[in-house]
Amino acid sequence: MAIIRKKIIINGVVQGIGFRPFVYKIALKNKVLGFVKNTSQGVIIEAQGSKSHIQSFISDLKLLKPSQSVIESFKISGIKIKKEKEFNIIKSEKTSKARGIIPPDLALCSDCRKEMRNPKDKRHLYPFINCTNCGPRFTIVKDIPYDRPQTTMKKFKMCRICEKEYKNPVDRRFHAQPNACPDCGPTVFSIAGHKKLEGFEALNAAADAIISGGICALQSLGGFHIACSALNKKAVSKIRKYKQRPSKPFALMVSNIKEAKKICFIGKKEEEILLSPSSPVIMLKKRNSNYNCISPGLSTLGLMISYTPLHEALFQILRSKGFHNPLLMTSGNKRDEPIAKTILHAKDKLKGLINLALFNDRDIHNRIDDSVGFVMEDVFYLIRRARGYVPSSIKMPVEGGVSVLAFGADLKNTFCLSRGSRAFVSQHIGDLSEIENQDFQTETISKFKKLLSVKPRLIACDAHPNYHSSILAKKTSVKLVKVQHHLAHVLSVAAEHQIKKPFMGLALDGTGYGLDGNIWGSEFISVKGGKAERLAHLNYFGLPGGDAAQEEIWRCSLSLIKMLDKKFLLKGRKVFKGIKKEKIKIVEKMIEAEINTPLTSSMGRLFDAVASLAQIRQFSEYEAQGPMELESLFKRKSLKPYKFALLKGQNKIIIDPLPVITGILKEPDSPMKAQIISEKFHTALSLMVKDVFVSLRKENKIRIICLSGGVFQNKILLSLTKELLEKENFEVFTNVRIPANDACVSLGQTYAALKKIEFTL
């Protein structure tokens, strides 16, 4: 029988997820000799055996690979046979050409959950239990290859039992880098006043604090959480006051799916995502009004399941004490600041709020927030992409190229670093007007460069000259490419879905700097090869006070009704109850004299105006609050929708919103008025989008459509629009793996820089 030997180099997400133990097992099964090792180039295998054994070994490699792994490349070459007696896992080495990829953090698996619930197990209620299928990854890794000495677990020396598990190829913890137990691993401790408690006692004290209505800080996986009973209104409002979030929704955490189902309606796909290793927060439909203080004014609630053993241990203790409420679980930071990462940081930031802090001695190297998303028609859409997803990459439809670093947009900032055709979009960084978030971005960029071993040769940023992200980008001494905001939005969809053909994009958005100096936000753009063109947009209207109109949303509606006949103006003014007459007059004068009143085509602001005219609210406390409440009121009753007018401009379609505004003003007063406006407006908007695309297709024959922009996080709008477009035979794509909001801009910038796409007005 002829013996052959093959060298196999596997690239992708193949480290830190039990890949080598898997290779070891299938090598034994197929009677293959040789070795497997982790290198910074990826996993290298040398396999020796009979031709048929090697063949079945290779097919097992591909077919039976661990569910967490992603194989990007698989290279096989024949090499000389060696004298060998067994198959081994050998020590990792670091070579210069680093190509490894770190997996995202994985939620507590069902085996570990079972173990820690068993009072007889040595890891009973141990907050750092993990195995090759679960546990920290990205948050603890400092350098590649992913091995214990390169993580914040370095300082913990495994005890004899843990080491035995780690070295035993048939053990669930074989080569689980963060493997630990109460004898050798990290410890929780709490400080309440001057008392320091450790281990179980610390957990117990945290549980008692929560039961008695207190607020705890927890040093979690990617940063600190603030937790309290979700039904304790006093504690919830204390957190609201502290975080300066009077009504912005919070997320809840429960310990299992059964508890989740008591609070919200949960579909099959939603259940699957809730229980997945990524374990994000999912926006779900509330069952009742019990949790209205958590998400006031909304029909949805963000929910997640205890994803670290620390959370799970806390729940177990709470349940054993007869306490069954869900916990409010929010990031440990003040409004808009990054999540606290170190004990010192947390002590400084959270004092005055918390009754007790649960710390531990495993450092968080990479800070990361909880991810958030929603399910629509069996597809999971991310709204905030962070833990459980980062640092997974997105393959762009390019054949490699230089490494690009794109700085993203200023709100919901992410940056993106490319390596070959792979785009690595960072975790949610946040609002860059906060200096701490700028530092967070700078720090994370250098960590990404190290983990990916790349030096960017091209920098991309937004076309906005005064964006903090643009200013940061200009500080680098590398060649700079400026990308228009909405072009970046639609390109991010094309990048994500590997679209190479010409397409038409639509960004419905809050704000973005336009090429004519106005604030854009409803942009139909075609992209053909290296050329992009603006084809249609919402007619401009004034934003009296600029940024002030984002919070005082009545300014948006006042600006629009000022464009109508006097009789509508008189009618419209009546909407502004509670706003001083003099204030309204001043703003009207601003509009008339065009003082500090930039022009905009923003769909976000039109939505705000409609929420104002529907008398849902006149002031917005968080971004899109009015529009989200308007969406929550939607009921499909098949009423006759309002109608946008489409005007033919110079080579462009101009969309006139005024007929919609008059339609709303004509609505008779009734308790159902806001609900009626919600339905008619959502429907009108989706019909307008369809009509514009149908009209544009007559000219350019393009039937691929990419939808992006924060407004498409509106589930109703997304679903109505997709349905109408697909009925017209369009092929519709949207942001799925990255959010449709400004978090996708860095990916679009990267793609624009690589493809050298030029935008003409």
Contacting residues toward Fe ion, per CB under 5 A:
509, 512, 742
DSSP 8-state symbol, 702: -
| Residue 193: Cβ-neighbour burial (10 angstroms; 0-12, 13-18, 19+) | exposed
- Our CB check for Fe ion shows the closer of 343 and 488 to be 488
Closer of 134 and 188 to Zn ion (Cβ):
134
Contact present, 527 and 490 (Cβ < 8 Å): yes
Nearer to Fe ion, 512 or 572 (CB): 512
Rounded Cα distance between 284 and 286, Å, is: 6
In this chain, which of 64, 95, 157, 183 binds Zn ion, going by CB under 5 A? 183
Contact partner, 131, from Fe ion, Zn ion, none, Cβ < 5-8 Å per class: Zn ion
Instruction: Find which of Zn ion, Fe ion, none residue 162 binds, CB within 5 to 8 Å per kind.
Output: Zn ion
Nearer of residues 311 and 485 to Zn ion, judged by Cβ: 311
Are 145 and 94 contacting, i.e. CB atoms less than 8 angstroms apart? yes
| Residues 186 and 159: beta-carbon distance below 8 Å | no
Pick 178 or 408: Cβ nearer Fe ion: 408
Pairing, β 503-513 against β 519-528: antiparallel
Figure out which of the listed residues 36, 98, 102, 109 binds Zn ion, where binding follows CB under 5 A.
109
Rule CB under 5 A: is residue 716 a binding residue for Zn ion?
A: no
Residue 340 near residue 332, CB atoms below 8 Å: yes
Give the N- to C-terminal CA distance of the chain in Å, as an integer. 70
Q: Which of residues 111-140 bind Zn ion (CB under 5 A)?
A: 112, 131, 133-134
Residue 375 β-bridge partners: 380
Number of residues that bind Zn ion (CB under 5 A): 10
Residues 6+ apart with CB under 8 A from 124: 115, 116, 117, 118
Q: Which is nearer to Zn ion, 309 or 391 (CB)?
A: 309
Question: Of these partners, Zn ion, Fe ion, none, which one is at the site of residue 183 (CB under 5 to 8 Å by kind)?
Answer: Zn ion
Q: Tell me how far, at minimum, the Cβ of 290 lies from Fe ion, in Å.
A: 35
- Output the six-digit token pair for 747: 């990916």
Closest residue to Fe ion, judged by C-beta, is 509
User: Cβ of residue 152: shortest distance to Zn ion, in angstroms?
Assistant: 17
Minimum distance, C-beta of residue 307 to Zn ion, in the bound complex (Å):
12
Least distance to Fe ion from the beta carbon of 624, Å? Answer: 12
Nearer to Fe ion, 252 or 536 (CB): 536
How far is it, in rounded angstroms, from Cα 405 to Cα 417?
Answer: 5
Residue 742 binding result from Zn ion, Fe ion, none, given CB thresholds of 5 to 8 Å by partner type: Fe ion
Q: Is residue 625 classed exposed, middle or buried when 0-12, 13-18 and 19+ CB atoms within 10 A define those classes? A: buried
125 binds, among Zn ion, Fe ion, none (CB under 5 to 8 A by kind): none
Chain-centroid distance of CA 380 in Å reads 11
Select from 585, 558, 563 the least CA-distant residue to 573. 558
Q: How far is the CB of 602 from Fe ion (least distance, A)?
A: 10
Q: Which stretch binds Zn ion (CB under 5 A): 58-66, 116-124, 177-185, 512-520?
A: 177-185
Judged by beta carbon, residue 39 or residue 492, the one nearer Fe ion is 492
Q: How far is the CB of 744 from Fe ion (least distance, A)?
A: 8
Q: At its nearest, how many Å lie between Fe ion and the CB of residue 80?
A: 57
Fill in the per-residue mask, 50 to 89: x = in contact with Zn ion (CB under 5 A), - = not in contact: ----------------------------------------
Tokens 């967070």 belong to which residue? 440
Which partner, Fe ion, Zn ion, none, binds residue 54 by CB below 5 to 8 Å per kind? none
What are the φ and ψ backbone dihedral angles of 315, each rounded to 5 degrees? -60, -45
Shortest reach from residue 242's CB to Zn ion, in Å: 35
Shortest Å, Cβ 187 to Zn ion: 12
Contacts with Zn ion, 136-175, as mask; x by CB under 5 A: -----------------------x--x-------------
Minimum CB distance to Fe ion smaller for 165 or for 410: 410
Q: Which two tokens stand for residue 253?
A: 């955490």
For residue 328, what are its two tokens?
């409010």
What is the rounded CA–CA span in Å between residue 257 and residue 251?
15
Distance CA 700, CA 713 (A): 28
Considering only 110-118, 136-144, 471-479, 577-585, which stretch makes contact with Zn ion by CB under 5 A? 110-118
DSSP string, 528-565: ETTEEEEEEEEPPEE-TTTTHHHHSTHHHHHHHHTTS-
- CA dihedral (460, 466, 472, 477) positive or negative: positive
Going by their DSSP bridges, the two strands 195-198 and 188-192 should be labelled as antiparallel
Instruction: Measure the CA–CA gap between 314 and 336, rounded to whole angstroms.
Output: 27
Which runs of E-coded beta strand occur in 213-353?
Answer: 216-219, 224-229, 251-254, 264-265, 281-286, 300-305, 327-331
What letter would DSSP give residue 711? G
For Zn ion, the closer CB: 109 or 266: 109
The position carrying tokens 């939505």 is: 607
- Residue 509 binds which entry of Zn ion, Fe ion, none, CB below 5-8 Å type-dependent: Fe ion
Minimum gap (Å) between residue 507 Cβ and Fe ion: 7
Closer Cβ to Fe ion, 236 or 507, answer by number: 507
Q: Looking at beta carbons only, is 46 or 742 nearer to Fe ion?
A: 742
Among 4, 76, 81, 184, binds Zn ion (CB under 5 A): 184
Q: Provide the pairing of β-strand 281-286 with 372-376.
A: parallel
Nearer to Fe ion, 403 or 625 (CB): 625
Cβ–Cβ contacts within 10 Å for residue 70, how many?
Answer: 15
- CB-facing half-sphere around the CA of 43: CA atoms within 13 A: 29
Assigned token pair, 428? 């949610």
Show the site string, 339-358: x = touches Zn ion by CB under 5 A, - = not. --------------------
Query: Least distance to Fe ion from the beta carbon of 527, Å?
Result: 17
Least distance (Å) between residue 129 CB and Zn ion: 7
Helix (H) or strand (E) holding 572: helix 566-573
- The option from Fe ion, Zn ion, none interacting with 229 (CB < 5 to 8 A, set by class) reads none
Q: Which is nearer to Zn ion, 112 or 235 (CB)?
A: 112
Closest contact distance (angstroms) between CB of 198 and Zn ion is: 16
How many residues does the structure list for the chain?
761
Q: Please, are residues 48 and 30 in contact by the beta-carbon 8 Å criterion? A: no
**How far apart are CB 274 and Zn ion at their closest, in Å?**
17
> Which residues are near Zn ion by CB under 5 A?
109, 112, 131, 133-134, 159, 162, 181, 183-184
